[in-house]
């Protein structure tokens, strides 16, 4: 069980977000300059100064408010603090959309999820912050989801032909992926991908888009743990491509595939089209 009330956790997560914004602000002015080699993070990607600064900002706040916790980060992996680090788990992608940061694309976020165990199903508090536009998505288990403190709900659109669907095709397996998604692409009115998956899932949660799909087998659970709760609490639906409940470990290297949609009708329509392509391969 959580060792803090949900209200307390929201305060902690908001303070983390504010500290991230403050610590990365100077670095955003120099991202076009030569960057030092900081090695490879636990998730397998090169570590950038802005990523490390964001992670340190989160850890700094957590250490102020918590005596015992385990940090699960895309950069540093597992870090245990206190005498009883299993008291709670904080899973984070400090900067989701690092490439966008370096190219000047205004779409990147910080993602933080709190859970009682290192498993997705136990996440109980979450925050995804759009760091460029200063928009903050939050959720608490059983309490709903919010965008800048206003309750959110997904789109009621059920028509793929009129839908705006997010689709991540960023993979060396593009030919294989495309063959699984032919019918979906043919039947969808508008395909989009913005480059920060946590934030794109939040766009489904607040009705900006109608669905977001990532079946590459490449996305880490650290990227989507917080947004998973936000989608569910907003009233959307997110499952595996087989329609099963997502029940995965929270580790920097754990990969996940999902179909997230605004409502059951949209979700079922997407799954039917994916399954049709799978059968025809």
Domains along the chain with CATH numbers: 6-151 (3.30.540.10), 160-280 (3.40.190.80)
Position 180 scores a pLDDT of 82
β-sheet with 135-140: strand ranges across: 77-81, 69-73, 89-96, 109-115, 123-130, 135-140, 144-147, 150-151
Query: Smallest Cα–Cα separation from 252: which of 39, 47, 91, 43?
Result: 43
Position 279 scores a pLDDT of 58
Based on the number of CB atoms within 10 Å of its own CB, is 161 exposed (0-12), middle (13-18) or buried (19 or more)?
Answer: exposed
Read off the pTM.
0.92
Per-residue exposure over 84-93, b if at least 16 CB sit within 10 Å of its own CB, e if not: ebebbbbbbb
* Residue 81 DSSP SS3: strand
Alpha helix locations (H) across 188-245?
A: 197-205, 221-234
In DSSP terms, 115 is beta-bridged to: 89, 123
The alpha carbon of 92 is separated from its chain's Cα centroid by a whole number of angstroms, namely 9
* Residue 150 DSSP SS3: strand
Query: Smallest Cα–Cα separation from 45: which of 18, 85, 77?
Result: 77
Position 48 scores a pLDDT of 84
Query: Smallest Cα–Cα separation from 238: which of 144, 75, 120?
Result: 120
Token pair, residue 70, equals: 């385990």
Position 42 scores a pLDDT of 64
Low-confidence ranges of the chain (pLDDT < 50): 1-2
């Amino acid at each position: 069980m959580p060792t803090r009330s949900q209200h307390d956790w929201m305060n902690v997560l908001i303070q983390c977000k504010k500290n991230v914004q403050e610590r990365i602000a100077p670095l955003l002015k120099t991202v076009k300059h030569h960057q030092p080699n900081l090695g490879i993070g636990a998730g397998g990607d090169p570590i950038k100064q802005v990523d490390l600064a964001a992670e340190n900002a989160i850890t700094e706040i957590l250490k102020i408010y918590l005596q015992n916790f385990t940090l699960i980060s895309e950069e540093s992996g597992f870090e245990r603090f206190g005498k009883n680090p299993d008291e709670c788990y904080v899973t984070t992608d400090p900067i989701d959309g690092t490439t966008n940061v370096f190219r000047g694309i205004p779409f990147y976020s910080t993602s933080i999820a709190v859970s009682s165990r290192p498993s997705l199903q136990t996440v109980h508090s979450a925050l995804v912050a759009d760091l460029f536009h200063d928009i903050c998505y939050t959720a608490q288990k059983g309490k709903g989801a919010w965008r800048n403190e206003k309750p959110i709900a997904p789109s009621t659109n059920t028509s793929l032909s009129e839908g705006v669907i997010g689709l991540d095709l960023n993979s060396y397996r593009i030919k294989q992926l495309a063959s699984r998604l032919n019918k979906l692409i043919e039947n969808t009115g508008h395909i989009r991908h913005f480059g920060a998956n946590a934030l794109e899932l939040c766009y489904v949660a607040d009705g900006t888009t109608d669905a977001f799909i990532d079946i590459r087998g490449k996305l880490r659970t650290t990227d989507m743990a917080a947004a998973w709760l936000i989608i569910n609490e907003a009233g959307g639906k997110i499952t595996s491509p087989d329609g099963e409940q997502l029940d995965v470990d929270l580790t920097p290297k754990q990969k996940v595939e999902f179909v997230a949609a605004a409502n059951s009708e949209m979700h079922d329509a997407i799954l039917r089209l994916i399954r049709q392509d799978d059968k025809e391969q």
